[in-house]
């Protein structure tokens, strides 16, 4: 009876996943469809006669954009960690003045619409000559991840026993040494979680790229796809092939780092 | 994640855990006076403080400044805009687009979070009792949330294409005629809302699923002994105990959905004829969407959006306090 019921649920689960992921299947299907079949009626449900012309076009034209996105993503991760790690440690363990005020600011910071941030950055960058630069985009993208990083590190580091740090202090370690040699190694998992999210958000960012770097020769992949859509609306196999390639980091995360994702989504948002 | 990312939803700290951790740490510390001077803590916090001032406070200040001046492109270059006080706000509020955008924002936001929450909760309850492959299947539900928004938005655009889209082809099989999903003013807002709901389901599922883990299993057993059926168990046990988690999920959803630009801009650009223009889209279009950037009204719209999000945030903080004091 129980086994029977479980199989029934598995079958329903598979159907639900199939419905949910249909757009993803469709993206792959279209990316393999020949241009001549693109406007077939009814559309081909399965790429019986697949072509890789879309992927060839995508790689031929979008390789520089992919490299830019990779670089921007890694830069965003570095900047986010540099700012958020020490701050998380201080808020969790050093009990500085103004903790409540900083908490409040971080909460407010996450409510500011990206379009507002984009306008602010635009007016600042236009004066500093930082429009259409990689560095400018990295700074703007990091604002997506820093408040999240601080709050996650803080929640995680609060759980590290203070005795461990006290022991290091008794052995004569400075606060910095304790942070580097005791706290950081213990925080490995949370560092991975924050890095993954910072990378993914920077990689996926469209608003900052389309405002701060819109006249740039060096564009990230999101803008590459957007221009693609604008330029040749008939080449949907190339557009979808680029989209599939742009989804690789997400697929990678899902397969190799799934537990870190769940940890990030639920971090602190749920009472236990 | 939507944006939740939209898009991307950074987890805000909810009630409970972090405070609890801090509290225990605090108690431990009280027994032993702090040895480290305050400036050590300040030094560790310094990068964050500088960062918040330079990359949050200053852009925000610039944005307010934009909204109370008349920044023409020429004034932008020369740096001599005319101070106009609340004129931009008055102009924005009395613009015909304003009420349209406000109504669209309400429909888009409330429609998205209500359906995302209902479907997310149903899925969370479905996956709650482990069955074969349940963990793998649950993980697959995260996919829409991890994809870059441009990928999801362009895929949905092609699926909803009037002539060649798969959605119309499928509907045709049931005898339903061609629907111009993205190009008709009647359906464009609905279309972007559907895409946004799809994007937000994973976030709701994950948070509500985690919330379900904290409902004690013996409550269900006791209710089962008393003869409660599955429906009663859900409405009498699961739903009431999930209330705090539900409140946070809905409020986070509200704050994220208010900000959404990418998905709408890529699919419809707010059109046709403002039919899918929300406040965020309006602001984006004024500032960056046309050949002639008009930053001052755009900034005014953006600041009004912040006020709305902020009001939602105050409700959030208020609810957190109430939960903490229980």
What is the predicted pLDDT for the residue at A137?
94
**Which of A11-15, A16-20, B17-21, B60-64 shows the lowest mean pLDDT across its residues?**
B17-21
Cβ distance A26 to B159 less than 8 Å, yes or no, reads yes
Residue A226 has pLDDT above 70, yes or no: yes
Cα Rg of chain B (Å, integer): 24
Measured on CA atoms in the order A122, A128, A131, A134, is the torsion positive or negative?
negative
- Write the burial class of residue A162 (CB in 10 Å: 0-12 exposed, 13-18 middle, 19+ buried): middle
Cβ distance B137 to A16 less than 8 Å, yes or no, reads yes
Please, are residues B9 and B1 in contact by the beta-carbon 8 Å criterion?
yes
B297: chain A residues, CB-CB within 8 Å: none
Among residues A119, A207, A107, A124, the alpha carbon closest in space to that of B302 is found at A119
Q: What are phi and psi of B192, to 5 degrees?
A: -70, -30
What is the predicted pLDDT for the residue at B12?
37
Cβ distance B169 to A222 less than 8 Å, yes or no, reads no
Q: What is the DSSP letter of B66?
A: H
Please, are residues B179 and B162 in contact by the beta-carbon 8 Å criterion?
yes
Any chain A CB within 8 A of the CB of B147? yes
* Peptide bond before residue A42 is cis, with ω within 30 degrees of 0: yes
What is the predicted pLDDT for the residue at A233?
64
* Contact map slice: A 51-80 vs B, CB within 8 A: none
Cβ-based neighbour number of residue B71 at 10 Å: 24
- The pLDDT tens digits for A36-93 are 777 777 778 888 888 888 898 888 888 999 999 999 999 999 999 999 999 999 998 8
Any chain A CB within 8 A of the CB of B218? no
CATH 1.10.3720.10 fits A71-266, yes or no: yes
- Write the burial class of residue A22 (CB in 10 Å: 0-12 exposed, 13-18 middle, 19+ buried): middle
* Contact map slice: A 84-103 vs B, CB within 8 A: 84, 86-87, 89-97, 102-103
Where are the extended beta strands (E) located within chain B?
A: 69-70, 82-83
The residue extents of the domains of chain A are: 71-266
Q: Which residue of A has its CA nearest to B241?
A: A271
Q: Which two tokens stand for residue B302?
A: 């953006």
A200: chain B residues, CB-CB within 8 Å: 8, 146
Closest Cα in chain A, distance from residue B23 (Å): 9
Closest Cα in chain B, distance from residue A48 (Å): 17
A86: chain B residues, CB-CB within 8 Å: 44-45, 47-48
- The pLDDT tens digits for A125-149 are 988 888 888 999 999 999 999 998 9
**Which of A113-122, A124-133, A231-240 shows the lowest mean pLDDT across its residues?**
A231-240
ipTM of the complex: 0.86
Please provide the average confidence, as pLDDT, over all residues in chain A: 85
Please, are residues B24 and B167 in contact by the beta-carbon 8 Å criterion?
no
Closest Cα in chain A, distance from residue B188 (Å): 18
What is the predicted pLDDT for the residue at A58?
85
Cβ distance B60 to A120 less than 8 Å, yes or no, reads yes
Domains in chain B, CATH or no CATH each: 89-161+188-324 (1.10.3720.10)
A66: chain B residues, CB-CB within 8 Å: none
Spatial separation of the C-alpha atoms in residues B36 and B41, rounded to whole Å: 8
Q: Which residue of B has its CA nearest to A39?
A: B164
Q: Which residue of B has its CA nearest to A112?
A: B306
B14: chain A residues, CB-CB within 8 Å: 268-271
Q: Which two tokens stand for residue A135?
A: 């560095």
Per-residue pLDDT band for A263 (boundaries 50, 70, 90) equals: low
Q: What is the pLDDT along chain B (326 residues), one digit of tens a residue?
A: 333 333 333 343 333 333 333 444 444 444 444 555 677 888 899 999 999 999 999 999 988 988 898 887 777 777 778 888 888 898 888 888 899 999 999 999 999 999 999 999 999 999 887 788 888 888 888 888 889 999 999 999 989 988 888 898 888 888 888 888 988 899 999 999 999 999 999 989 988 998 888 888 888 888 888 888 888 888 888 888 888 888 888 988 898 899 899 999 999 988 788 999 999 999 999 888 877 778 888 999 999 999 988 888 788 778 777 766 65
Cα Rg of chain A (Å, integer): 23
Among candidates B40, B140, B262 on the partner chain, residue whose Cβ is nearest the Cβ of A94: B40
Cβ distance A151 to B203 less than 8 Å, yes or no, reads no
What is the predicted pLDDT for the residue at B8?
34
Among residues A50, A73, A89, the alpha carbon closest in space to that of A209 is found at A73
Residue A270 has pLDDT above 90, yes or no: no
Cβ distance B134 to A10 less than 8 Å, yes or no, reads yes
Please, are residues A114 and B63 in contact by the beta-carbon 8 Å criterion?
no
């Amino acid at each position: 009876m129980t086994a029977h019921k479980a199989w029934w649920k598995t079958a329903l689960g598979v159907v639900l996943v199939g419905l949910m992921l249909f757009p993803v299947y469709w993206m792959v299907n279209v990316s393999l469809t020949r241009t001549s079949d693109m406007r077939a009626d009814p559309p081909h449900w399965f790429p019986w006669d697949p072509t890789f012309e879309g992927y060839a076009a995508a790689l031929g034209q979008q390789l520089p954009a992919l490299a830019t996105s990779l670089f921007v993503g890694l830069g965003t991760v570095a900047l986010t960690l540099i700012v958020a790690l020490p701050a998380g440690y201080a808020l969790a363990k050093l009990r500085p003045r103004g903790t409540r005020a900083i908490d409040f600011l971080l909460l407010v910071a996450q409510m500011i619409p990206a379009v507002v941030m984009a306008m602010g950055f635009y007016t600042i960058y236009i004066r500093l000559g930082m429009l259409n630069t990689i560095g400018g985009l990295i700074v703007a993208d990091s604002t997506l991840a820093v408040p999240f990083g601080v709050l996650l590190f803080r929640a995680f580091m609060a759980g590290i026993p203070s005795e461990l740090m006290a022991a290091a202090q008794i052995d004569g370690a400075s606060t910095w040494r304790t942070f580097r040699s005791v706290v950081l190694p213990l925080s490995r998992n949370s560092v991975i979680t924050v890095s993954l999210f910072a990378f993914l958000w920077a990689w996926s960012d469209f608003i900052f790229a389309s405002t701060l770097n819109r006249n740039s020769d060096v564009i990230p992949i999101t803008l590459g796809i957007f221009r693609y859509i604008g330029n040749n609306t008939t080449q949907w196999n190339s557009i979808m092939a680029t989209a599939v390639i742009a989804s690789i980091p997400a697929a990678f995360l899902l397969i190799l780092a799934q537990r870190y994702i769940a940890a990030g989504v639920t971090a602190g948002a749920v009472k236990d | 994640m939507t944006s939740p990312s939209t898009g991307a939803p950074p987890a805000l700290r909810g009630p409970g855990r972090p405070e609890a951790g801090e509290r225990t740490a605090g108690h431990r510390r009280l027994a032993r006076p702090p040895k480290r001077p305050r400036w050590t803590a300040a030094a560790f916090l310094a990068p964050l403080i500088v960062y918040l001032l330079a990359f949050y406070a200053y852009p925000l200040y610039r944005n307010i400044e934009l909204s109370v001046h008349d920044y023409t492109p020429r004034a932008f270059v020369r740096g001599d805009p005319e101070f106009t006080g609340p004129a931009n706000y008055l102009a924005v509020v009395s613009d015909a687009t304003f009420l349209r955008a406000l109504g669209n924002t309400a429909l888009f936001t409330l429609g998205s979070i209500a359906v995302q929450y209902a479907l997310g909760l149903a899925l969370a309850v479905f996956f709650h009792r482990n069955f074969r492959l349940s963990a793998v299947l649950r993980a697959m539900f995260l996919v829409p949330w991890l994809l870059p928004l441009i990928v999801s938005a362009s895929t949905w655009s092609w699926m909803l294409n009037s002539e060649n889209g798969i959605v119309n082809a499928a509907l045709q099989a049931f005898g339903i005629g061609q629907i111009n999903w993205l190009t008709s003013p009647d359906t464009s807002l609905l279309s972007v809302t559907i895409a946004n709901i799809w994007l937000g389901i994973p976030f709701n599922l994950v948070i509500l699923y985690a919330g379900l883990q904290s409902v004690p299993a013996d409550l269900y057993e006791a209710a089962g002994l008393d003869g409660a059926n599955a429906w009663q168990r859900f409405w009498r046990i699961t739903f009431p105990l999930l209330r705090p988690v539900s409140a946070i999920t809905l409020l986070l959803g509200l704050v994220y959905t208010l900000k959404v630009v990418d998905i709408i801009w890529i699919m419809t650009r707010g059109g046709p004829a403002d039919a899918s223009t929300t406040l965020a889209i309006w602001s984006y279009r004024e500032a960056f969407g046309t050949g002639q950037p008009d930053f001052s009204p755009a900034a005014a719209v953006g600041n009004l959006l912040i006020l709305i999000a902020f009001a939602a945030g105050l409700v959030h903080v208020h609810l957190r306090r109430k939960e903490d004091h229980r």
